[in-house]
Chain A
Amino acid sequence: MTTFLAQLLNGLQYGLLLFLIGSGLTLIFGVMGVINLAHGSLFMIGAYLAYVVAGYTGTFWLALPAAIAGGLLFGTFLEAALFRRFRDREHLDQVLLTFALILIFEEARSILIDNQFHSVAVPALLDFSVPIVGGFAYSAYRLAVLAVCLAVAALMLLFVERTNIGASIRAAAENPEMVGLLGVDARRIHMLVFAAGTALAMLAGALAAPLQSVYPGMGDGFLILSFIVVVIGGLGSIGGAFWAALLVGMVDTLGKAYVPQLAGIAVCGMMALVLLVRPAGLFARG
Chain B
Amino acid sequence: MTAILEARNLSASYGTNLVLQDIQIAIHPGDVIGLMGRNGMGKTTLIRALVGLLPARDGAVLLDGQDAAGMPPFKRSRAGIATVPEGRGIFASLTVRENLRFAARPGGVWSEERVLSVFPRLAERIAHRGNHLSGGEQQMLAIGRALMTNPRLLILDEATEGLAPLIRDEIWHTIRVVRDAGVAILVVDKTVSAVLSLADRVVVLVRGSVVYSGAPAGLQVDPALMYRHLGVDG
Contacts and interface: CB of A to CB of B under 8 A. Distances in A.
Interface of A: 164, 167-168, 170-171, 174-175, 177-186, 285-286
Contact of A168 (B89, B92, B102, B105): B102
The 9 closest A-B pairs by CB, nearest first: A183-B77, A180-B73, A178-B89, A182-B103, A167-B98, A180-B74, A171-B91, A183-B78, A181-B83
B199 interface: no
Contact of B74 (A167, A174, A186): A186
Contacts of A168: 102
B92 A181 contact: no
Contacts of A184: 74, 102
A285 B101 contact: no
Nearest to B78: A183
Nearest to A236: B93
A123 B131 CA distance: 48
A136 B145 CA distance: 57
Interface in B51-102: 51-53, 72-74, 77-78, 82-83, 85, 89, 91-94, 98, 101-102
Contacts of B98: 164, 167
Contacts of A174: 91-93
B93 A285 contact: yes
Contacts of B145: 182
Contacts, number: 66
Given A167-B101, A167-B102, A285-B131, A180 B72 contact: yes
A168 B101 CA distance: 10
Contacts of A285: 92-93, 129, 131
B139 interface: no
B11 interface: no
Given A180-B77, A181-B85, A183-B78, A170 B103 contact: no
Contacts of B93: 170, 174, 285
A278 to B, nearest CB: 16
A207 B53 CA distance: 44
A128 to B, nearest CB: 43
Interface of B: 51-53, 72-74, 77-78, 82-83, 85, 89, 91-94, 98, 101-103, 105, 129, 131, 145-146, 149
Contacts of B52: 180
Q: Which of B93, B103, B105: most chain A Cβ within 10 A?
A: B93
Given A183-B103, A184-B102, A167 B149 contact: no
Given A182-B82, A285-B92, 18 more contacts: A164-B98, A164-B102, A167-B94, A170-B94, A171-B94, A174-B91, A174-B92, A175-B89, A177-B73, A178-B89, A180-B72, A180-B73, A181-B73, A181-B85, A182-B146, A183-B74, A285-B129, A285-B131
Q: Is the interface of A mostly helix, strand, loop or mixed?
A: helix
Contact of B77 (A167, A170, A175, A181): A181
B85 A178 contact: yes
A185 B74 contact: yes
11 contacts: A167-B102, A170-B93, A171-B102, A174-B92, A177-B53, A180-B52, A180-B72, A180-B77, A181-B83, A182-B103, A183-B77
B112 to A, nearest CB: 13
A285 B82 CA distance: 26
Nearest to B53: A177
Contacts of B94: 167, 170-171
Q: Which of B51, B82, B101, B103: most chain A Cβ within 10 A?
A: B103
A286 B83 CA distance: 23
A238 to B, nearest CB: 11
Contact of A183 (B85, B101, B149): B149
A90 to B, nearest CB: 15
Nearest to A166: B98
A170 B131 contact: no
B92 A286 contact: yes
Contacts of B105: 183
Contacts of B73: 177, 180-181
A12 to B, nearest CB: 27
Contacts of A170: 91, 93-94
Contacts of A181: 51, 53, 73-74, 77, 82-83, 85, 89
B215 to A, nearest CB: 30
B83 to A, nearest CB: 5
Contacts of B92: 174, 285-286
Contacts of A175: 89, 91
A138 to B, nearest CB: 37
B77 to A, nearest CB: 4
Contacts of A286: 92, 131
